[in-house]
Amino acid sequence: MNVLHDNMKLVCLDGATLYQVQPTLDARWETLSALCDCTVWERTAPGELVARLKGAQMALTNKTVIDAAAIAQLPDLKYIGVLATGYNVVDIEAAKVAGITVTNIPAYSTASVAQHAIALLLAIVNRVETYASAVSRGEWTESLDFTFRIQDWHELAGKTFGVVGFGNTGQATAAIAAALGMRIAVYTSKNQAELPEGYVKVDLDTLFAESDVVSLHCPLTSETAGLVDARRLGMMKPTAILINTGRGPLVNARDLAEALVEGRIYAAGVDVLDNEPPHFDNPLLAAPRCYITPHIAWSSAEARERLLGIAVENIKAYLGGNPINIVS
């Protein structure tokens, strides 16, 4: 059954996640406006949600939660498009009961996240910030030698790169690490025969104990929450580096901060924290050798453009009566 586009109202609840909304609407939102009556809000507070979606048949959300209580008050709502791969912001069971189609955006940021994970690693081992800052301060100018050394930096070739989770992003990140000459150890449900040549499947404790770098790419579930705790950090080499571009709660922040303070691991590069924006007292903010970026790994210009493009295709397919990327 086809849906009449002219009668469809679409509300995007948190457009600022992707592109500018205020003071003027970014032109890229016009691709949605061409499909139906479209309103884009910069952000939506919980108390504003129901009022903004009243009378709307379709909603787009990135981080704005649409729970069962909200769904019960929105009888006109028939479609929710999540502007991300993870869709835990929507009560899927309540949506099913209400006959609401829920879609997501799969695999749009694989290359971006993989690149950022390796960028965090290179920032740590190559000490780019340390040296660039020193040069800006004039320390190289005052040096007697053509090579100005402050600290050693290290090659990654020959080191072991441990990948926890081997979906699209884990595979892409491992491929870059392998291109740098690193040995790849993988914790995955896949069989050894399904892994690329030279990659070795290992159990989780072995991966933490033997890897020079551990990179997290697994989903956040009740089983993986707190996966990296004091016990597993204690298994790691004192020279090891932890990279987390997955989800903040995969790591116990206090345990990681203590491991860094005590020198039980060398460094950490994280793009995600358990609360975002972080609370002022998050122990990782003051931890030594902890390189933190503000949840930007997914958000390259190319990835955001790709995300919006897929969102448009999702809506077109729904309006055409053949929805795609359904998670409900």
Residue 213 φ/ψ, nearest 5 degrees: -135, 130
* Neighbour count for residue 263 (Cβ, 10 Å): 10
**Contact between 189 and 169 (Cβ < 8 Å):** no
Catalytic residue among 28, 295, 305, 313: 295
Which residues have CB under 8 Å from 149's CB, separation 6+?
none
Whether 276 is catalytic is yes
Catalytic residue among 93, 194, 276, 302: 276
Which pair of tokens denotes residue 270? Answer: 């994280």
* Neighbour count for residue 26 (Cβ, 10 Å): 14
Which pair of tokens denotes residue 325? Answer: 């990327």
Angle, vertex CA 62, rays to CA 60 and CA 63, nearest 5: 130
Q: Please give the biggest Cα pair distance in the chain.
A: 77
**Contact between 200 and 163 (Cβ < 8 Å):** no
Interhelix angle 128-136/110-126, rounded to 10 degrees, is 60
Cα gap 288→267, rounded to integer Å: 8
Catalytic residue among 116, 183, 247, 306: 247
**Contact between 238 and 263 (Cβ < 8 Å):** yes
Active site residues: 247, 276, 295
